[in-house]
Amino acid sequence: MKRKIIKQGHNTLTITLPAEWTKRFNLESGKEIDLDERDNGLFISTEKNGKHKATEFDITGLDLPTIWKYFMAVYREGYDEIRVKFSPDMVLENPYKFFNQHKLDIQYKKTPEKKRMSEVLQSFVSRFIGLEIVEHGKDYVLIKEMGESTSKEFDSSLRRVFLLIQQMFEEVLEAIEKGDTKILAHTHDVDINLDKFHDYCIRILNRVGNKEPRKVSLLFATLYLLELVGDEFKNISHHMLYDFDSSVDFKYIKEVAESISEQFNLYYDMFYKFDKEKLIRMSELDKKRYFSVSDMYKKAKNGEIKEIFHHLRVIAKDINALIELRVEMEF
């Protein structure tokens, strides 16, 4: 948006602030805002968004799952400076397996090699978009955000989440069509990437909010469900790769998978441009599948097909919840 510069007195220049923005942050005459000079521009922020957030925690004696929870919490909450303390003689195993909760890390050994904390913490930090270790000592590391979290980055990261889920759909359909489960060998990597962008979106919402504050809670719920969809694809790939006999023919559930994929693609389009016709089409797809569930289970030749069908039904359920949230955003 553009604003005209207004001259007041001999040496003072002023501009007006957008009324909607001031109402959103409850700004009025006499309150302070932050001005941050950056290159050839000025960044205007409220205290909530402009305040430097720093924290510190000690991981001495903690195991990897607990350390992971600490990192997730401070990252999502939007801290831009994190000091992590630890015992100088502390060693831990490779934390990679905690980035995906299945046995898909083939390189992970039964007797894992212990690593120094500098290596372990670098692995943790590499998992989060925008964070870097900028200083380290014998019993601490200092982590900082390198860059600024903005609403524009939220939009691009959220779209990336959608595209990664579409990729998962396409690869599952291809694996079913060709009878080649090896296509799904890197699904866990796709899911890790999805989780990174998911967490980054959560971080931005906590730091910056949204131009429509009432939608923030709806966006949190949307991101949560999108992550669950990714996890279901991880379950499907794990079963088809490691748990089931390679001779199982999954083409029987191809039609169901294609129907759910079409529903997600329609939802993705409608998320950015609301369309009643697409909403009706998604309802028709859901209704058709609902009334064919009993026949599907009766005709299923083995438990493997029923298991994959179950995961697809969970995905369909999550998509319906996502659709409800999107409709709510219209009001």
Contacts of 193 (CB under 8 A, 6+ apart): 164
Q: Look up the CATH number of the domain holding residue 96.
A: 3.30.1370
Kindly tell me if the per-residue pLDDT of 36 is higher than 70. Answer: no
pLDDT at 166 > cutoff 50: yes
Distance CA 111, CA 225 (A): 35
Strand partners, 143: 82, 133
Name which residue leads in pLDDT, 312 or 94: 312
Interatomic CA distance for residues 60 and 138, integer angstroms: 13
Q: Give me the chain's average pLDDT, please.
A: 87
Type of residue found at 271: F
SS3 call for 279: helix
- pLDDT tens sequence across 214-243: 899 999 999 999 999 999 999 999 999 988
Query: Do residues 115 and 198 both lie within one domain?
Result: no
Confidence (pLDDT) at 28 = 81
Mean pLDDT of 311-319: 96
Q: Is residue 16 part of a domain?
A: no
232 and 269 inside one domain: yes
> Same structural domain for residues 71 and 212?
no
Task: Tell me, yes or no, whether 64 lies in a domain.
Answer: yes
Q: What are residue 91's DSSP bridge partners?
A: 116
- The DSSP 8-state label assigned to residue 25 in this structure reads T
**Res. 105 pLDDT band, cuts 50 70 90:** very low
Q: What percent of the chain has pLDDT over 90?
A: 55
pLDDT band at 268 (very low <50, low <70, confident <90, very high): very high
Query: How much is the pTM?
Result: 0.81
Are 158 and 304 contained in the same domain? Answer: yes
> Is 184 in the same domain as 91?
no
* Terminal-to-terminal C-alpha distance of the chain: 25
Classify residue 143 by burial, with Cβ atoms within 10 Å: 0-12, 13-18, 19+: buried
With CA atoms as reference, report the closest residue to 17 among 7, 8, 29, 9.
29
180-195 confidence digits (pLDDT tens): 999 999 998 899 999 9
8 A C-beta contact, residue 290 and residue 263: no
**Residue 46 pLDDT level (bands cut at 50, 70, 90):** low
Top mean pLDDT of 9-13, 102-106, 167-171 is at 167-171
Residue 96 confidence (pLDDT) above 70: no
Residues 132 and 161 in one domain: no
**pLDDT exceeds cutoff 50 at 106:** no
CA distance 285 to 137: 58
Question: Is 38 within a domain?
Answer: no
**147 conformational bin, left if phi > 0, alpha if psi -120 to 50, beta if neither:** left
The total domain count for the chain is 2
* Confidence bin at 107 (pLDDT 50/70/90): very low
Q: Residue 162: which domain range?
A: 151-329
The residue ranking higher by pLDDT, 4 or 195, is 195
Report long-range pairs for 87-91 (Cβ below 8 Å, ≥24 apart): 87/60, 87/61, 87/139, 88/138, 88/139, 90/59, 90/60, 90/117, 91/115, 91/116, 91/117
307 assigned to some structural domain: yes
